[in-house]
């Protein structure tokens, strides 16, 4: 949870006020719909910042090559394999075609050296010889949606206002005001471009989403 910054309730209230000022009697958005705009904006900005990072652990099954990874995982940054002797090695990414070719010519089990990300599936090559080893995926993940009034975004406080601006852009698009939508969207993107080289974003990751699996 970030300290300072805007709460979910504050962002919803700000957007409702903007809606009332911009559209007056045509502003018929419910609290729930405003919340959808706010969360859509939050997830979009978090995605562009690549901010919410976590690890996801998979416990191997002997000779099993396919493992399901949650849909909240957006991007793989680094994948490690830890065997029963606590030896760590990096798994190198290969494409699906290369994986199927390797698998065709050699299906023997061993210590995995490669992986393929294919939708919500992780494929290992070669198949793990042992059960109980650990594959750790360092990921960029989908942040949990803001729901409670005092919930706050996980990324830097000075960027919270961009959620309101992006949500306002979505609101104008929904009303058919594409000119204002484009202007607000460009403002948000410009600010994100300025932030892209900041030290906080280079470090990346709030660590606030921890996914664990087996």
pLDDT by residue (tens digit) across 156-168? 999 999 999 999 9
- Average pLDDT over every residue of 141-159: 94
**Inter-residue contact 115 to 94 (CB < 8 Å):** yes
Average pLDDT, integer, range 57-78 = 93
Q: What is the mean pLDDT of residues 75-92?
A: 94
Q: Which residues contact 137 (CB under 8 A, 6 or more apart)?
A: 55, 56, 57, 58, 69, 73, 76, 78, 79, 122
pLDDT at 192: 93
C-beta of residue 138 within 8 angstroms of C-beta of residue 209: no
What is the C-alpha separation between 68 and 106, in angstroms, rounded?
23
**Two tokens at 59?**
């416990």
Q: What is the pLDDT of residues 189-210, one digit of tens each?
A: 999 998 876 655 555 555 444 4
Q: pLDDT-derived band of residue 70, with 50, 70 and 90 as boundaries?
A: very high
The domain limits of the chain are: 8-51+159-203, 53-141
d(CA 51, CA 202): 9
What is the pLDDT averaged over residues 15-44?
Answer: 83
C-beta of residue 50 within 8 angstroms of C-beta of residue 140: yes
């Amino acid at each position: 949870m970030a300290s300072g910054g805007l709460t979910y309730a504050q962002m919803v209230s700000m957007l409702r006020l903007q809606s009332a000022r911009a559209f007056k009697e045509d502003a018929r958005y419910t609290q729930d719909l405003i919340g959808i705009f706010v969360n859509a904006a939050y997830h979009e900005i978090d995605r562009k910042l690549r901010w919410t990072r976590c690890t996801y652990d998979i416990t191997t099954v002997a000779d099993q090559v396919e493992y399901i990874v949650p849909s909240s995982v957006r991007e793989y940054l680094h994948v490690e394999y830890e065997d029963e002797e606590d030896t760590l090695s990096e798994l190198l990414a290969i494409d699906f075609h290369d994986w199927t070719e390797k698998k065709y010519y050699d299906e023997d089990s061993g210590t995995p050296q490669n992986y393929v990300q294919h939708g919500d599936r992780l494929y290992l090559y070669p198949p793990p010889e042992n059960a109980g080893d650990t594959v750790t995926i360092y990921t960029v993940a989908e942040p949990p949606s803001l729901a409670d009034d005092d919930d706050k975004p996980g990324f830097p406080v000075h960027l919270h206002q961009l959620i309101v601006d992006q949500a306002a852009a979505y609101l104008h698009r929904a009303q058919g005001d594409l000119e204002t939508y484009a202007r607000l969207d460009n403002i948000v993107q410009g600010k994100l471009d300025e932030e892209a080289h900041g030290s906080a974003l280079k470090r990346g990751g709030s660590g606030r989403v921890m996914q664990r699996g087996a």
